[in-house]
Structure 1
Amino acid sequence: MARRDEYYNKAKQQGYRSRSAYKLQQLDETADLFTDRSTVIDLGAAPGGWLQVAAERAPEGRVVGVDRQRIEAIDGVETRRGDLTDEDVRADLKADIGEADVVLSDMAPNMSGEYDLDHARSVHLARQALDVAREVLTPGGDLAVKVFDGRDLDGLEADIEEAFEYVRTVRPDASRDESSELYLVGKGRMTAPIEVGDELTVEITATGEEGDGIAKIEEYTVFVADAEEGDRVQVRIADVKPRFGFAERVD
């Protein structure tokens, strides 16, 4: 039996609206996207196969699907009808949901049969998803986006990497053998106002559990070795994580 038929038939038997549901299952198993309480936004979500999987894997969270097409109701899922290129649609999404833990996009262009054009259009859609992720993801949140392989892939991956702790490339087994599709997974949304190597002067306002001094830079927490509450010290940033960083004294 061809793999295409295997996943198509499984989707029918198990009640999923599309065979792509198995791609998201495999992405989660590879990249650890969901927790029970995740807030998830699925872009271009019709007909809803990914929404079904997200609702299963974040049963105590919030799952929201957005598409220009109408999405038939799914238990435990909210849907929005709108075009992501419309700034008002994106602003309303942000205002309603606040911060999300995961942004998903399985969007694909209408196929023209001209590979370079289809690839470029897929990159454009992926960049739309990245723009949404930059606006709504909580620090440490994840992005998973589909794109067709091609010459613009490296540039897209570099742009995602700038916004996240790291990027993974995943090709789910459920993708068709002949398909050039792959998924870029940005792990750990970075919103830190500092970068590794920065040197600055900070005030130590508290002491952490391990004895390090704690400084705040625009509400971002930095742990400073060999510093005590009340110190004002010059530091060099040694490591940056989504929610906190580490620094060494240089004074």
Structure 2
Amino acid sequence: MPAKKRDFFYNKAKQMGYRSRASFKLQYINERYEIIKEGDTVVDLGAAPGGWLQVAKEISGGTVIGVDLQKIEPIEGVTTIKGDMTAPATQEKIFALVDRVDAVICDAAPNVSGNWALDHGRSIDLGKVALDVAAKLLSPGGNFVVKIFQGDMYDMYLNLVRKNFAFVTSYKSEASRKQSAEIYVIGKGFLTAPVKKGQVMEVVIEDVGKSGDGIARVEDFVIFVKDARKGQKAKIKIDDVKEKFAFAKVLSE
């Protein structure tokens, strides 16, 4: 008997009418991290054959859009776009349908060659593309989940996601096959701040907060600067970025 025929989640998906065992992966992710909420607008990148679209629609009940180079068989209440998710023309089609996106999800994987270093690299490249597209689509505070293969570039990718979201973690689904190296990177609270983590900049400390930290502003965005004094001109490094404010330290005056 083929291995997939003996697979619990494969059989469960067939019984429940899901298009792939991957449907359960999104269910488990959402139960733990609430990536998708009722009424959310969701875009699924690399959505074929549609297992994640089915679950996203069940959870949201709102607008769900699937994008893939392959044709996706119709799903009731779901809009599908056949095209390259990186192409401006495809992204324009998405924006023609919605004016805000609450969650971008991506369970896409590269064609596996059997060469581990190559497959890992391709997975990271695909994850970067998904992150770039998500950054164009997401509303402030929106959520993101993407599958990548574990390897030596994993930490680098995680740091890229951290620059764009207030909360970042990774999750190995119990619905993944035991031998699989796939892992899901999750970002919550998309940041539209004018500063990024690790950025170095010069500011003037305009005030001092109740905690004693200096307060600087960039485009009305507040930056709390540790051990800074009012009126100080300083070069600072951004240590952490939240949805409405950031933390920094002084490098030099």
Q: Where does residue 126 of structure 1 map in the other structure? A: 127
Q: What is the deviation of 1:35?
A: 1.1
Deviations 1:62-96 (CA, angstroms, capped at 9, x unpaired): 11000011111111111111012323222332343
Name the CA distance, whole Å, in 2 between partners of 1:163 and 1:111. Answer: 28
Unaligned runs of 5+ in 1: 204-214, 225-232
Name the CA distance, whole Å, in 2 between partners of 1:200 and 1:40. Answer: 40
Change (3 A) 1:160 1:58: same
- Percent of counterpart pairs with the same letter? 44
Q: Where does residue 49 of structure 2 map in the other structure? A: 47
Deviations 1:170-204 (CA, angstroms, capped at 9, x unpaired): 0010000000000000111111124689854779x
Instruction: Give yes or no for the alignment of 1:7 onto 2:35.
Output: no
Q: 1:118 is paired with a residue of what secondary structure?
A: helix
Q: Where does residue 207 of structure 1 map in the other structure? A: none
Q: Where does residue 229 of structure 1 map in the other structure? A: none
Structure 1 stretch 25-34 or stretch 186-195: which is displaced more? 186-195
Q: Where does residue 67 of structure 2 map in the other structure? A: 66
Name the CA distance, whole Å, in 1 between partners of 2:220 and 2:41. Answer: 23
- In angstroms, what is the RMSD of aligned CA positions? 2.8
Q: Where does residue 21 of structure 1 map in the other structure? A: 23
Say whether the 8 Å CA contact 1:103–1:137 is kept in structure 2. yes
Name the CA distance, whole Å, in 1 between partners of 2:171 and 2:86. Answer: 26
Say whether the 8 Å CA contact 1:148–1:182 is kept in structure 2. yes
Unaligned runs of 5+ in 2: 208-215, 225-229, 248-253
Letter of the 1:110 counterpart: N
Structure 1 stretch 30-39 or stretch 6-15: which is displaced more? 30-39
TM-score, reference length from structure 2 = 0.79
Q: Where does residue 103 of structure 1 map in the other structure? A: 104
Say whether the 8 Å CA contact 2:66–2:78 is kept in structure 1. yes
Q: What are the residue-to-residue correspondences of 1:81-96 with 2, within 5 Å?
A: 81-96=82-97
Deviations 1:101-156 (CA, angstroms, capped at 9, x unpaired): 10000000111011111111111111110011110111111110000000111111
Structure 1 stretch 26-35 or stretch 173-182: which is displaced more? 26-35
Structure 1 stretch 188-197 or stretch 161-170: which is displaced more? 188-197
Change (3 A) 1:240 1:122: closer
Q: 1:191 is paired with a residue of what secondary structure?
A: coil
Q: Where does residue 37 of structure 1 map in the other structure? A: 39
Say whether the 8 Å CA contact 2:143–2:190 is kept in structure 1. yes
Name the CA distance, whole Å, in 1 between partners of 2:240 and 2:170. Answer: 24
Q: What is the deviation of 1:25?
A: 0.4
